Chain A
Amino acid sequence: MASKVIRRDLLVGAAACAGALATSVNNGLAKTPRTHDIRIKSFEFEPQTITVKVGDTIRWTNEDLAPHTATAVAADWDTGEIVKDDARSIKVTEGMETNYFCAFHPHMKGTIELI
């Protein structure tokens, strides 16, 4: 008797788990935020243009000897100084400025496409 109860509980538990898993996978496909990597190399952002969604993260890694920044043209976001071999991230938010540059080397420019 006791074993039957346990088995039933187990089955119910397993079904619940499977259901939860399926839900989280479905949600995951639609909503899991991504991290987009941008390399800073030879005074360029690579890639120069990226396509992102709100909630994603953009991570800049500096491979140059010179320190750089990724700074919004409208100044609403800024990674701050990124030294050699260091990385800084920002989270994509609704309505954020999508054009950015390096505050130290203003000819370095990048674009974020929000979809």
Chain B
Amino acid sequence: MQKDDERLVHSRGEEFLQVFKKGAEFTQELLRENERLRFRLLELEKSQGPGDATPVAEVKRLSERIADLEQEKQEILDRIRHVEEENQDFAARYLEIEDENNNLANLYIASYQLHSTLDFKEVLQIITEIIINLIGAEEFAIMLLDEKSDELQAVSTEGIDRSEIPSFRLGKGIIGTVAESGENHFASDFDNYERDFSAPMVCIPLKIKEHVIGVLAIYKLLMQKKEFAAVDYELFTLLAGHAATAIFSSRLYSDSERKLSTIQGFIDLLTK
């Protein structure tokens, strides 16, 4: 019995020694492998050179580059947005200048035509054409002030019979007030305006500097002209100035021609 126990202890001891030996061998193998890997790592590091980054550093570097590019992209997008806004501003400004250019051209042609003749009837005809073609009025009257009687009388009409327009005293009613004050008159509600010869839709004084020689009274616009544009108000004033000068010059010329003819007749009578 005791011998059996000793044999068992001995065999256990043997087994333990075997396991311990194997463990020692395995540990030595691991140490060798570790040494081999360290050596390999050193070799790899040497072959990459001192400037090359490790994969972690490379990832970091690339991430930073991506962030830089993202920022650059954002800056470019901001600049594009800014340029587009500027472009829209320029486009709007271009249209404004185009409109201004067109208005100046129209005004140039109108004034050129007005000052191209000294014939009173022709001047009235040109004013009529300008009011229809540029302003878009269908019914209107050109009224001149008789400085002796202080009365305004229609000398030319469009869309209305001249005999229908009564004469107006200076300072009386809308027409008389416009002629006296030299201020433009525009009806407050164009849509509901009803024709009234004493209260035109629009009344513009024909002025040479501050001297009013008559008025332009508008009673109806062309059916396609629903309202006045902002530029029309400026056009009115500018055209009225040119129209007044043209009317004044042509009347002066007609008067001097008449006087010349009378004097000539008188001279002929005396000399022949």
Interaction A to B: no
Q: List A residues at the B interface (Cβ < 8 Å).
A: none
Q: List B residues at the A interface (Cβ < 8 Å).
A: none
